Structure 1
Amino acid sequence: MRSVGKPVNGFRKKDRIQRTLDRLYGMAFVCASYVYAKRLRSCTRMGIDLPDRQFRTNLDRLPDCDDVEKIELLAVGRRAVRRGELDAVILNASGQRGSIAVYNALFQKYKLINKQAAQEGLELYAEMWDDAKENPGKHPNIDRLMLVVAEDMTLVGKINGKYAS
């Protein structure tokens, strides 16, 4: 702190000063709780205060998507199985409205779904993500995000027939 011209009060140990400097310059002290908190803060850029461990609570915090009828997903990139072809369609129907909200929020923020966007999407799914890990195939929209993270794929979306922009 002294080296950047800020007063240091009460720091007696050199490692505390170094830790403070590291945080000041963005080289954060890494522990499990810090990594989780950093992911939570990254979700606030989507207009979410903090993702909760309840999917329903996270849905209430997402941007409105009543005008979205469907989202068409196209796989792109070298790891895509069917490159450039229609991968899936998520309709705004009962049972898929939550996925419409999550995917719409991700496309609004990132314009496409890459590994980082998929990770944020999985955190928004909260307890549903845990269920999808235990029961593969039960939640195909969550499985798709897990595949994007695992295979480092990219999904491009067409919302109501128009590419996300």
Structure 2
Amino acid sequence: MSFQDNLAAMPAIDHLSGLNVCDAEGNMLHHIPAAPGKLGSLKLYHALAAEFNGALNAESAARGLEWFAEHVADARRHPGKHPNIDLLLQVQNENLDYHLHPLPA
């Protein structure tokens, strides 16, 4: 399935102002705002938070990469172009454990 097909099956995000990715100490490492150009990533990360009880680890990162679908190949060819995919690749490759915190609007 394509990224757009995957997004269509995910829960709504109209109740969110963004999402923070935090380390075990609660330090924010990455933020995805509810802003134009970021809504697809926000929706995908919110769905990961729901499915994996807020855990961002190698397993949930793998699912996220499946959902980003056709965009993953471009992210691999152009590091830095897709920071939300880059983060998932880093979590998977380095076996990191982070927490996803959706932020209410």
Q: With structure 2 as the length reference, what TM-score do the two structures score?
A: 0.92
Gap regions ≥5 residues in structure 2: none
Gap regions ≥5 residues in structure 1: 1-51, 77-82
RMSD value, Cα: 1.3
What residue identity is the alignment partner of 2:96? M
Q: Percent identity?
A: 33
Q: With structure 1 as the length reference, what TM-score do the two structures score?
A: 0.60
The total of aligned residue pairs comes to 103
1:104 pairs with 2:46: yes
Q: Indicate the residue corresponding to 2:100 in structure 1.
A: 157
Q: Indicate the residue corresponding to 1:58 in structure 2.
A: 6
3-state SS of 1:108 partner: helix
3-state SS of 2:48 partner: helix
Q: 1:75, CA displacement in angstroms?
A: 2.3
Alignment partner of 2:68 out of 122, 125, 128: 125
Bigger proportion of residues as strand: 2
Alignment partner of 1:143 out of 68, 86, 96: 86
Identify which of structures 1 and 2 has the higher relative contact order when contacts are C-alpha pairs closer than 8 Å and 6+ apart.
2
Q: 1:84, CA displacement in angstroms?
A: 4.1
1:71 pairs with 2:1: no
Deviations 1:81-106 (A, max 9, x none): xx642101100111110111110001
Task: Give the whole-Å Cα distance in 2 for the aligned partners of 1:154 and 1:124.
Answer: 19
Task: Give the whole-Å Cα distance in 1 for the aligned partners of 2:39 and 2:79.
Answer: 20
